[in-house]
Structure 1
Amino acid sequence: MSEAYITRIAKFLPNQSVSNEEMEEYLGFINGKPSKSKAIVLRNNGIKNRYYALTKDGVATHTNAEMAALAVKGLFKSRPEDIKKIDLLSCATSSPDQLMPSHGVMVHGYLPETSSVEVVSPSGVCCAGMHAFKYAYMSVKIGDKKKAVSCASERLSPVLRSEQFEDEIQQLIKLEQNPYIAFDKDFLRWMLSDGAGAFLVENAPNKEGISLKIEWIEGCSYANEEEACMYMGADKLEDGTLKSYKDFTLEAVLEKSIFSIKQDVKLLGEKIVKLGFSKLKNILHDKGVSMDDVTYFLPHLSSYFFEKKIDDFFTENGIPIPKEKWYTNLVSVGNVGAASIYMMLEEVFNSGALKKGEKILLAVPESSRFSYMFCLLTVC
């Protein structure tokens, strides 16, 4: 089999960054009043800035597919002619612009410079970006493709606007006592961000500069054991099953805000760290990898609230990672869902700090029904 390498990484962030103080100017006020829980939620998640593909009036400035295409074009900024050589486009998102056609072909539609290539659209939430990456990696690995692009993008700001929500839940005492209770619809308003990232995966490293050899990508799902935790376009019933938007009347869809994002906060607190990172411990053991071998650890965090919990888990399980090895840009770009891991790796890759032989461990937990993806890269 061929080897596979990430040779270029690019990102696209729409418009200017939005500070914590400006958020409600873009997302609006529920019932015309400022949020009373916003400050508490932001204190827990630690985010200072994020990006929205809309104006303060709620007018879209970019589609999801357009942002993904702009990230892809960014891969070829120095050599525009190379975009014609792409032989695979693997595109992921949890927030497509439409149900049909697929997100991937819509991205391809914004790339008239390319040829008629294979296009795939992995679905999911945060792990979807890694699934798109793995498809590109495997296609190059088996020799089927030579120049594969994977990308991930999100445009969730329209569903975070105030008109999409029911009356805001005001439970400040509970929020202070138990931060998990904030991880509901209101929490998600202050966390999510828009943007896109892209990888170029090839069968040979760059002749000049660095590349990232893809050592392995491993994933797992606990959906056979756990009910849904985060969902959209459905309502959660008392027995834990989801009732699809297709099975509601139009009136009920609006009344129950079926298309807002919701989270089962109790499940999130109990499960998100221990399930996935127990699996990572087993993967590292099976692959013969020690945390001592890792130079950079890039975890996708929905909130800095989970940073200590992950750190504590590693320490308690005998696989500690010193904090100086951790890297995340959550504070400056927010949670961009499936695209977050692309944006973190882009900053590290283009920082000028990487040295050949260093290893980078990626970790992407997804709370929707408890899925996880992990990847080890070597700088070469």
Structure 2
Amino acid sequence: MATLRTDPDQSRRVPPLRSVVVGTGSCLPEQVVTNADLAERVDTSDEWIVQRTGIRQRHIAAPGETTSVLGARAARAALDDAGLTGDDIDLVICATSTPDHTFPATATQIQAALGIGQGAAFDLQAVCAGFVFGVSTADKFLTTGAARRALVIGAETFSRILDWEDRTTCVLFGDGAGAIVLEARDDAEGQGVLSSSLRSDGRHREKLYVNGGPGSTGTVGHLRMEGRDVFRFAVGQVTDVIVEAFAQAGLTADDLTWFVPHQANRRIIEASADKLGIAREKIVLTVDRHGNTSAASIPLALDVARRDGRIRKGDLVMIEAIGGGFSWGAALIRW
């Protein structure tokens, strides 16, 4: 929990800084691939995919649409929504597992595209949980006064690490990007990031990973997943971070307005909500339209729900995700 700061000049206690969401944005490639399209390519069907995942379509990046291109478009939309420009940003964090290059960081390419000439920019790798880790990391910069405004971006082009002959994985993922602008405020009126809880356990690497990399095979590799094991872990184990985030903030599931989880699988999302006592009508679902966009899925869903009027000022929003490794986390935000 945040503690009150002391004004050194006047020896008085002043409110703590809070990281407040002041803008959201998203970007989806134009190309839409439906389940029926995939059924022409691999042995699957629309019924099979919808029944097991809830996914009906996904967006696929065109040649030249790199992760930084999608990320920059989403970030620009978030800046426009906040009424800000690149000159107002002094921290850029890009959560991604599909960077443009081994280095430099994709965040630096987004920074350059937006004309940001100050502050720091770096990538964060926690796979599908990357955006939650990014929000928690940015919050630490902002609430300690190390930065004033941050762009937190989730951007992915997973289509480029898929084995398009593997029907168990290629039907699940899509490309896209989402972003939020966080601003440090000492007059937040209860708004902002209230709490976060993060976990990792590298013993589970073989359950969800990419079988390549510059330091191992010298290749990009393809995504590999043990779907049943991931499902069991996602439903059975990762609720600890949600419980902890509620406890840190002194709140419960009854206080929640919206649950915005990682959009991987509708059955996982609903089973997790049921286990935690979160009413299904509080769930924001976009997995049917976007598929699993990894680190981009939560900011994409946030932008959808804010722009269609569901998420409003004062709402209590929980974000939550699990990614390969495993890494998982949750954060509570008062909008």
With the length of structure 1 as denominator, give the TM-score of the two structures. Answer: 0.76
Alpha-carbon spacing, 1:354–1:42, altered in 2? closer, same or farther (3 Å)? closer
Are 1:353 and 2:334 counterparts?
A: no
Aligned length: 320
- The one of 264, 287, 290 equivalent to 1:330 is 287
3-state SS of paired residue (1:328): coil
Q: Write the distance in 1 (CA, Å) between the matches of 2:44 and 2:267.
A: 19
- The one of 18, 21, 45 equivalent to 1:3 is 18
Q: Write the distance in 2 (CA, Å) between the matches of 1:116 and 1:71.
A: 20
* Corresponding residue of 1:217: 196
Amino acid at match of 1:116: Q
Q: CA deviation at 1:288?
A: 2.4
* Corresponding residue of 2:330: 374
* Corresponding residue of 1:197: 178
Alpha-carbon spacing, 1:76–1:269, altered in 2? closer, same or farther (3 Å)? closer
With the length of structure 2 as denominator, give the TM-score of the two structures. Answer: 0.85
RMSD: 2.8
Q: Write the distance in 2 (CA, Å) between the matches of 1:156 and 1:360.
A: 27
Q: Write the distance in 2 (CA, Å) between the matches of 1:311 and 1:4.
A: 26
Amino acid at match of 2:257: T
Alpha-carbon spacing, 1:279–1:213, altered in 2? closer, same or farther (3 Å)? closer
3-state SS of paired residue (1:14): coil
Q: Write the distance in 2 (CA, Å) between the matches of 1:282 and 1:52.
A: 36
3-state SS of paired residue (1:9): strand
Unmatched runs of 5 consecutive residues or more in structure 2: 1-15
Amino acid at match of 1:214: V
Are 1:40 and 2:21 counterparts?
A: no
Q: Which moved more, 1:128-137 or 1:149-158?
A: 128-137
Amino acid at match of 1:49: Q
Q: Write the distance in 2 (CA, Å) between the matches of 1:233 and 1:114.
A: 35
Q: Write the distance in 2 (CA, Å) between the matches of 1:36 and 1:23.
A: 7
3-state SS of paired residue (2:194): strand
3-state SS of paired residue (1:6): strand
Alpha-carbon spacing, 1:63–1:51, altered in 2? closer, same or farther (3 Å)? same
* Corresponding residue of 2:103: 100
- CA contact 2:263–2:291 (8 Å) conserved in 1: no
3-state SS of paired residue (2:221): coil
Alpha-carbon spacing, 1:227–1:71, altered in 2? closer, same or farther (3 Å)? closer
User: In the TM superposition, what are the counterparts of 1:1-380 in structure 2 within 5 Å?
Assistant: 1-23=16-38, 29=41, 34-36=42-44, 39-54=47-62, 60-77=63-80, 82-111=85-114, 113-160=115-162, 162=164, 165=165, 185-204=166-185, 213-223=192-202, 226-234=204-212, 246-248=215-217, 259-314=221-276, 320-366=277-323, 368-379=324-335
Which is strand-richer, 1 or 2? 2
Q: Which moved more, 1:334-343 or 1:94-103?
A: 94-103
Q: CA deviation at 1:357?
A: 3.2
Q: CA deviation at 1:200?
A: 0.6
3-state SS of paired residue (1:126): helix
- CA contact 1:4–1:201 (8 Å) conserved in 2: yes
Q: Write the distance in 1 (CA, Å) between the matches of 2:144 and 2:187.
A: 19
- CA contact 2:263–2:298 (8 Å) conserved in 1: no
> 1:244-303 CA distances to partner (integer Å, 9 max, x unpaired)?
67555x8xx7xxxx7110012343243221111134234434542211111111121311
Percent identity of paired positions between Structure 1 and Structure 2: 21
> 1:77-131 CA distances to partner (integer Å, 9 max, x unpaired)?
36776222211111110111221222222222322x2223311211120111222
Unmatched runs of 5 consecutive residues or more in structure 1: 55-59, 166-184, 235-243, 315-319
Q: Write the distance in 2 (CA, Å) between the matches of 1:19 and 1:341.
A: 21
Q: Write the distance in 1 (CA, Å) between the matches of 2:333 and 2:110.
A: 27
> 1:137-161 CA distances to partner (integer Å, 9 max, x unpaired)?
2111111211211111000113336
Q: Write the distance in 1 (CA, Å) between the matches of 2:181 and 2:325.
A: 29
- CA contact 2:262–2:320 (8 Å) conserved in 1: yes
Q: CA deviation at 1:374?
A: 0.6
3-state SS of paired residue (1:17): strand
- CA contact 2:91–2:120 (8 Å) conserved in 1: yes
Alpha-carbon spacing, 1:46–1:347, altered in 2? closer, same or farther (3 Å)? same
